[in-house]
Structure 1
Amino acid sequence: MIDHWPLMGLRLTIGDVELRLPDDEELAQLADVAERGVHAPGDRPFLNGWTDGTPAEVARRFVQAHWGHRAAWTPQRWELELAVFHEGRPVGCQGMWASDFATVREVTTGSWLGIEHHGRGIGTRMRGAVLALAFAGLGSEFAMSMSFEDNHAPLGVSRKFGYRPDGITRDALHGEVMVSRRLRLSRQDWETGNPEPVIISGLDPCRELFGLTGD
């Protein structure tokens, strides 16, 4: 499969955390993690509401979304959804997406982590891994992140990496206005933040898929 879809060979390793595309069995295990919950009952940390519904519905939507990202991928518009493994066990997903990346050189990131794995520093390491991919691996100039004002965990992770305020967005969710903080991290601020080393392997065959032909 790597011959036809080189992204299957992409690996990011940071400490005891590894990020890569899951095979179908690992995708099923990730769906089980999602089914058990990724946030406390009553919380709404995601704008798209993908965690609404029964546990079985949440798991099924996650699997469908993962398949959809791969099917819709083009070098001009892509969304990379990497499974996160902690000590060999799937615990969540770290996403990174962009449009016209070869020109704009800007990515946006988002993630989720099984609720039983919160508070162990995994969220910081998985963000650090994709930031290394974006800046060191792909030559991005900026990385963006957005979080609701009361979603303190991802906002705290962003502060650790040196993101700066970049305004707000106002969106509707279940009939209510939700305010998100937009945050922006520059290549310079990432470099001066002394990021934890990340091992990136299998990237070269993937560059064309990211729109970087000839880089």
Structure 2
Amino acid sequence: MSIEQPAALAPGVAPPPRIDLGALLLRRWQPEDLAARLEAVNASFDHLHPWMDWLAEPMTLERRRACDEAEAARWPSQDGSCNYGIFDVEGAVLGAIGIHDRVAPRTVEIGYWCHIAHTGRGVITRSAAALTRIALALPGIDHVEIHCDEANTRSAAIARRLGYRLDRVEPRAIRAPAESGRGMFWVKDNEA
């Protein structure tokens, strides 16, 4: 039996659908992004698959289309997520990032992935920093969290670099091949 958490985002409250960071653009995925998004995920499959439970096998066009259609129907989506593509100035997909309203009252989670061709260039650090600031400025949000497996040192390094504090490490189900079964829960508090 699961206990459903009250939503952290009040009705009508959401981050902006477009965040311009100069050399990077975070924007709500659009239907015309389907092919580029599919290509980016599949090009990065070997890099993402070990950590992403939603990528147990390469993404098919049909599955990507179904996910995109469900996501495009509302902002935030039905599951309380606000998912962005990360693009460069030419419009190439560099990765993805999102705010997920599934943690606890007054708390949202940030999740992300980077296209394998663009890792190690600060893409996720800059995107997560911006989205953290925006999330903490939303009405009713006191905390932003980043969750990752203890073995996922690259994801933990992002949280550490952005000044998140390690709140706890606890056992959790192994959902992807490289996971250790120990989840790290990083928290950034609203200091306003």
The alignment's TM-score, normalised by the length of structure 2, stands at 0.77
> What is the rounded CA distance, in whole Å, between the counterparts of 2:92 and 2:142 in structure 1?
32
> What is the rounded CA distance, in whole Å, between the counterparts of 1:141 and 1:111 in structure 2?
20
Alignment of 1:165-180 (within 5 A): 165-167=166-168, 168-173=170-175, 178-180=181-183
Alignment of 1:79-90 (within 5 A): 79-87=81-89, 88-90=91-93
Partner of 2:44: 37
The Cα shift of 1:131 comes to: 1.0
Please state if 1:67 is matched with 2:54. Answer: no
1:62–1:151 CA distance, 2 compared to 1 (3 A)? farther
> What is the rounded CA distance, in whole Å, between the counterparts of 1:52 and 1:172 in structure 2?
13
Alignment of 1:20-35 (within 5 A): 20-35=27-42
* Number of equivalent positions: 178
Partner of 2:98: 95
Q: List runs of 5+ in structure 2 lacking aligned partners.
A: 1-13
1:13–1:36 CA distance, 2 compared to 1 (3 A)? same
Matched-pair identity in %: 23
Asked if the contact 1:113–1:123 (Cα under 8 Å) also holds between the matched residues in 2, the reply is: yes
Asked if the contact 1:72–1:78 (Cα under 8 Å) also holds between the matched residues in 2, the reply is: no
Partner of 1:134: 135
Stretch of structure 1 that moved more, 74-83 or 139-148:
74-83
Stretch of structure 1 that moved more, 159-168 or 137-146:
137-146
Alignment of 1:99-118 (within 5 A): 99=102, 104-118=105-119
AA of the residue aligned to 1:89? A
> What is the rounded CA distance, in whole Å, between the counterparts of 2:38 and 2:142 in structure 1?
33
Deviations 1:170-202 (A, max 9, x none): 1133698621111111012xx7xxxxxxxxxxx
Asked if the contact 2:167–2:185 (Cα under 8 Å) also holds between the matched residues in 1, the reply is: yes
3-state SS of paired residue (2:173) = strand
Partner of 2:188: 185
> What is the rounded CA distance, in whole Å, between the counterparts of 2:132 and 2:21 in structure 1?
11
Greater relative CO (CA pairs within 8 A, separation 6+): 1
> What is the rounded CA distance, in whole Å, between the counterparts of 2:132 and 2:176 in structure 1?
32
Asked if the contact 1:123–1:157 (Cα under 8 Å) also holds between the matched residues in 2, the reply is: yes
Asked if the contact 2:124–2:158 (Cα under 8 Å) also holds between the matched residues in 1, the reply is: yes
Deviations 1:3-40 (A, max 9, x none): xxxx8x72112231111112222232111111111553
> What is the rounded CA distance, in whole Å, between the counterparts of 1:79 and 1:134 in structure 2?
12
The alignment's TM-score, normalised by the length of structure 1, stands at 0.69
Please state if 1:147 is matched with 2:153. Answer: no
Aligned residues: CA RMSD? 3.3
The Cα shift of 1:70 comes to: 3.9
The Cα shift of 1:97 comes to: 1.3
